[in-house]
Amino acid sequence: MSRFRKVGVVGLGTMGAGIAEVLARGELEVVGIEINEDALARGRGHLEASTGRAVKRSKLTGEAQREILGRITLSTDFQDVAGCDLVIEAVPERLELKRRVFAELDRVCRADAVLATNTSSLSVTEIAMTTNRPTAIVGVHFFNPAPVMKLVEVISTVLTDPEATAGVVALVEGLGKTPVSIGDRAGFVANRLLLPYLNQAVALYDSGHATREDIDAAMKLGTGLPMGPLTLSDMIGLDILLEAMEAIYTESRDLRHVPAPLLRRLVTAGLLGRKTGRGFYTYEKPGSAVVRDHAALPEAVEVERPLVGVVGSGDLAVGIIETCARAGAEVRFVAGDDTKVKAAWLALEDALEQSIAKGRIDELSKKAALERITGSPEIGRLVDCDLIIEAVAEDVSVKRSLFATIDDVAKAGAILVTTASAVPVIELAMATDRPAAVVGLHLPELPGKLAEVATTVVTSPEVAARAVALIGRLGLEVVRCRDRAGFIVDALRFPYLNDAARMLEAGYADADSIDAAMRLGCGYPAGPIAELDRLGLDRAVRVLRALYSEARQAALTPAPLLEEYLIAGRTLRS
């Protein structure tokens, strides 16, 4: 049980009011301080509205609401926190303002009181040094909305007394939240991993790599995130993102953390996201739903379901064959020899059995899917195919000569597709006599809903539109991008995963804390360390090397920890 019985909250805006509510729900006595009577009335309004909503949804009784509000005393006089055991500051994110507030708290609070800041991006150490009790200063970073979000990052500086931290951790646990204990680093864990990913998504959009809709759809469908990075940036507020990236860059001096130029332009133009009615998207009115605007989407074309050829017999090839056949397409696959053809058949039957076990299909659909597939070692069997997908091992010279062969047998008008991830699509396109008819395809998850289609500098617009339509007929949601390493999903998720691995390597936070921070603070379906193990360290290292070789940014080199565990044949969590 926590030793804190009476807790002060300074600033009753979005966060302070939420924190005061959480504390009062936890049966603590709360003193809420605001700057003047108007702000105090707004703070009271936040508290009444939030608990009122809970009553309306029958999550709280009217009586419980009265009790909660009855535990909160509101005041504009700092002197009223004099008797508090702990005070949490939640005033706007400006260092000089926070320093003034802490100097005042230091003056009025008891000598044994702990003082905490809810800052998202300022240095807790700098704030602590304003006071005469730097050992009693901690960071306690709640997430918005505080009554709902389970994660609380508890930050200790090099000076913080472990007992002060332990007291805050116990309090947070007592409130039914999950505390994550970490050191004082810009962005802590969750924002340090999330915001650079958002900033990179903005830069990717700004470079013309893909449309905002495709970037958002790719990350939602490809990684199971609740929303795409540009939608989330609009929601957070582009001014907040810009300021936080400045703070992270100031500390890291990593060029990837320089705020994306487009972010700064939008903020200068007053287009701050949902709250102002426009950011990356346009909203009906501030805070409302997205409306269609000038950034028109490409026209869709009508096509018949394609006859698909697949070259390869490994896991990826089998996954593609299964996906196509289940969507109703006829598939001809070509493997190296009869033994490989047989092995691929067995793997296909196995994959379809697993789909039955998971309740995705029934016996009849399995039988029908298998009847649509034929396998052979003869590449000439691909002569009638509309779409020929190469899914052989990641070896550039093998792929290049295979593409030349496919080009020889494919009919005129066929589209050739590569699943290469470590070599640019254009290299394979140039190995054929029809470079305009070659595109790249990534399926970030198998089985999955998302297909990323990359076009090169020579892909014809007609081929691009047809490829998107044909792949769409295979039951996949298609997003388009340029021919760049990682397409969209891998280009955005592996740098984020690598950052998490570096955080683990540096001993800044342990695997459980990092994973909990991203799941509970940012809505990720799985934490990054668990995700690295699931995707495979070999894949992580391969994709990061490809990203590095294109961008030559040191931070994109695989974290040595990943290589070490990979060589040792171990997972990060084993």
Which residues pair with residue 75 across a beta bridge? 33
Mark the segment that binds ligand NAD (CB under 6 A) among 32-40, 447-455, 489-497, 543-551: 32-40
How far is CA 198 from its chain centroid?
Answer: 8
Name the minimum Å distance from CB 244 to ligand NAD.
8
- Run of H or E residues at 39: helix 37-56
The piece of 90-98, 263-271, 373-381, 536-544 that touches ligand NAD (CB under 6 A) is 90-98
Residue labelled with tokens 């009919």: 411
Query: Which one of the spans 34-42, 283-291, 331-339, 537-545 is the region binding ligand NAD (CB under 6 A)?
Result: 34-42
Q: Please, what is the minimum distance in Å from the beta carbon of residue 173 to ligand NAD?
A: 19
Selected binder of ligand NAD within 30, 90, 202, 416 (CB under 6 A):
90
Q: Is the peptide bond before 447 cis (omega within 30 degrees of 0)?
A: yes
Q: Among residues 26 and 521, whose Cβ is nearest to ligand NAD?
A: 521
Q: Which is nearer to ligand NAD, 153 or 214 (CB)?
A: 153
- Minimum CB separation of residue 365 from ligand NAD in Å reads 46
Nearer Cβ to ligand NAD, position 96 or 302? 96
Cα separation, 308 vs 321, in Å, equals 9
Residue 10 binds ligand NAD, judged by CB under 6 A: yes
Closest CB 488 distance from ligand NAD, rounded Å = 26
| CA atoms of 324 and 446, how far apart (whole Å) | 12
- 91 in contact with ligand NAD (CB under 6 A): yes
Nearest to 219 by CA among 474, 496, 547, 540: 496
By the 10 Å C-beta count (0-12 exposed, 13-18 middle, 19+ buried), 490 is classed as buried
Query: Of the candidates 9, 12, 124, 263, which one interacts with ligand NAD according to CB under 6 A?
Result: 12
- Distance, CA of 261 to CA of 264 (rounded, Å): 5
Residue with the shortest CB distance to ligand NAD: 13
Smallest gap from Cβ 427 to ligand NAD, in A, equals 45
Q: Is 198 in the site for ligand NAD (CB under 6 A)?
A: no
d(CA 180, CA 511): 11
Residue in 16, 32, 229, 279 binding ligand NAD, rule: CB under 6 A: 16
CA pair distance 24, 32, nearest whole angstrom = 11
CB of 56 to ligand NAD, least distance (A): 23
Stretch that binds ligand NAD, among 9-17, 263-271, 279-287, 504-512 (CB under 6 A): 9-17
Q: Closest approach of Cβ 127 to ligand NAD, in Å?
A: 10
Q: Which residue in the set 4, 6, 11, 60 belongs to the binding site for ligand NAD (CB under 6 A)?
A: 11
Which of 132, 141, 142 is closest to 185 using CA atoms? 141
How near is the Cβ of 563 to ligand NAD at its closest, in Å?
35
Q: Respond yes or no on whether the N-terminal peptide bond of residue 145 is cis (omega within 30° of 0).
A: yes
CB of 150 to ligand NAD, least distance (A): 14
Q: Across the chain, how many H-helices and E-strands are there? A: 23, 18
Using rule CB under 6 A, residue 9 touches ligand NAD: no
CB-based contact 46:58 (threshold 8 Å) = no
From candidates 34, 390, 452, 533, binder to ligand NAD by CB under 6 A? 34
d(CA 264, CA 140): 29
Neighbours of 519 (CB within 10 A): 19
Task: Kindly state the number of chain residues that form the binding site for ligand NAD, as judged by CB under 6 A.
Answer: 22
* CA 303 and chain centroid, separation: 34
Residue 161 binds to ligand NAD (criterion: CB under 6 A): no
Find the shortest distance in angstroms from Cβ 134 to ligand NAD: 19
Shorter beta-carbon distance to ligand NAD: residue 67 or 93: 93
* 40 near ligand NAD, judged by CB under 6 A: no
Residue 39 contacts ligand NAD per CB under 6 A: yes
79 binds ligand NAD (CB under 6 A): no
**Binding to ligand NAD by residue 420, rule CB under 6 A?**
no
Q: Which residues, 95 to 154, sit near ligand NAD by CB under 6 A?
A: 101, 118-120, 142-144
Window of 11-19, 354-362, 484-492, 520-528 that interacts with ligand NAD by CB under 6 A: 11-19
Q: Which is nearer to ligand NAD, 15 or 453 (CB)?
A: 15
Q: Does 35 bind ligand NAD (CB under 6 A)?
A: yes
CA dist 102 and 215 (Å) reads 42
Q: In sequence order, what are the residues at sequence separation of 6 or more whose Cβ sits closer than 8 angstroms to the Cβ of residue 547?
A: 485, 486, 490, 491, 494, 495, 556
By CB under 6 A, residue 394 contacts ligand NAD: no
- 213, 229, 364, 426, 465 from 217: Cα distances, Å: 6, 9, 32, 25, 18
**Are the CB atoms for 486 and 496 separated by under 8 Å?**
no
Picking from 84, 92, 132, 75, the residue whose alpha carbon sits closest to that of residue 110 is 84
Exposure on the CB side of residue 178, measured as CA atoms within 13 A: 14
Is residue 15 within the footprint of ligand NAD (CB under 6 A)? yes
Query: CA distances (Å), 181 to each of 110, 155, 287, 451, 512, in order?
Result: 25, 6, 34, 39, 11
Residue among 142 and 487 whose Cβ is closer to ligand NAD: 142
Point out the residues that are catalytic. 120, 141, 153, 191
Considering only residues 92, 359, 507, 569, which one is a binding residue for ligand NAD as defined by CB under 6 A?
92
Instruction: Classify residue 230 by burial, with Cβ atoms within 10 Å: 0-12, 13-18, 19+.
Output: buried
Closest approach of ligand NAD to the CB of residue 142, in Å: 6
Contact pattern from residue 177 through residue 196 relative to ligand NAD, giving x for each residue in contact according to CB under 6 A and a dash for the rest: --------------------
Q: State yes or no: residue 33 binds ligand NAD (CB under 6 A).
A: yes
CA distance 47 to 73: 12
Q: CB nearer to ligand NAD: give 12 or 316.
A: 12
Binding residues for ligand NAD, per CB under 6 A?
10-16, 33-35, 39, 90-93, 101, 118-120, 142-144
